[in-house]
Amino acid sequence: MIFDACNSGQAINDFRANAMATQVFLGSGNSNKSQQVKSVDKLNEKSGFFILSASAPDQSAFEVTQLSQGLLTYALLSAVKNNSEILDDKNVLSIGKWFDVAGETVTKLIKENGAIQDPQIVRNNNFSVGIVDKEIIAGINLPAEIPLFAPTNFQNKNDSVGYDDKELSKLVNSQLSKLSSRGTNNKIMYVNSTNSPDAYTLAGRYSITDNDIKVSFNVVLKGKSRKQLEVTGSLDKLEKLAEDIASAATEWVMNNK
């Protein structure tokens, strides 16, 4: 059983509570109902019974815009398509290995996005659930990850301490946020805080001459500059300048990711 829903770990707690109640019930007599429960338990021991819930009882099950779907669903599909370690004899899908890898993937991805989501797994024994062949793998179409942008860092070159007195960082962040919130057709995702090593950041300095402002900045990924860009504008149209910076950066990332 797979629950890809918020607070779904509560279902596991309910199953455990029912199991304890069943044990008490089984000791109370040999009624027909008691024999039916025993028969179900024997079948369960032979077939195996796994429960995978997307989150703990008090946690949300996140959908990440980058992946265009719930994390658990993505992790399960990704494991089948990309991780041969979950297969026995090269093509036999092991449910225990499958659920373990999916759970680890969810935990890793959600930490990178600054949140907490702990998948819950209950198992009886391990068993195989099917054959994963080339046709199955080809039929899994994973969404392409949308580039992730973190907050920018711009400094005024004319200022002795490099203070961003024109609040250009704030304006560019706002433009990135707008690009990120255009619905299902958005090309990027912007977050206010993230630990993801795959998040792009924009960092640079601007110089001001009269009403003219020139911005030189780097598109940074994993601590290294991927591209240096330059955008010019005017002080009386800073929002337009911020829009141009965001557009130039996202266009380059989309063409070079």
What tens digit of pLDDT does each residue of 8-66 get? Answer: 677 767 766 665 555 544 444 445 545 544 544 554 555 566 778 777 777 777 666 56
Q: How far apart are CA 167 and CA 155, in angstroms?
A: 9
Residue 230 in any domain: the answer is: yes
Tokens of 21: 């109640």
- pLDDT for res 202: 97
Same domain, 106 and 179: no
Same domain, 16 and 100: yes
220 vs 127, more confident: 220
Same domain, 153 and 227: yes
Same domain, 14 and 106: yes
How confident is residue 146, by pLDDT bands cut at 50, 70 and 90?
A: confident
Bridge partners for 208 per DSSP: 213
Range among 17-31, 138-152, 177-191, 205-219 rated most confident: 205-219
Interhelix angle 9-26/32-47, rounded to 10 degrees, is: 130
Q: Is the confidence at residue 235, as pLDDT, over 90?
A: yes
Considering all CA atoms of the chain, what is the largest pairwise distance in Å, rounded to the nearest integer?
93
- pLDDT for res 15: 67
| Side-by-side strand order, sheet with 128-131 | 87-88, 92-94, 128-131
Task: Please tell me the least confidently modeled range out of 85-99, 103-117, 181-195.
Answer: 181-195
pTM score over 0.75: no
- The closest of 182, 195, 198, 176 to 247, measured between CA atoms, is 176
Domain membership of residue 119 as a residue range:
2-138
Q: Is 120 helix (H, G, I), strand (E, B) or coil?
A: strand
Interhelix angle 238-256/168-180, rounded to 10 degrees, is: 50
**Average pLDDT in the chain:** 80
Q: Is the confidence at residue 114, as pLDDT, over 80?
A: no
Which residues contact residue 9 at a Cβ distance below 8 angstroms, ignoring those fewer than 6 apart?
Answer: 53, 55, 56, 57, 58, 59, 118, 120
Q: How far apart are CA 223 and CA 148, in angstroms?
A: 15
Tokens 């080339």 belong to 134
- pLDDT for res 176: 94
Residue 195 in any domain: the answer is: yes
Q: Name the domain count of the chain.
A: 2
Same domain, 116 and 159: no
Same domain, 122 and 168: no
Residue 143 in any domain: the answer is: no
Same domain, 50 and 134: yes
User: What is the average per-residue pLDDT within 243-252?
Assistant: 97
Q: Is the confidence at residue 101, as pLDDT, over 70?
A: yes
Task: Please tell me the least confidently modeled range out of 113-127, 148-162, 214-228.
Answer: 113-127
- pLDDT for res 28: 47
Same domain, 106 and 169: no
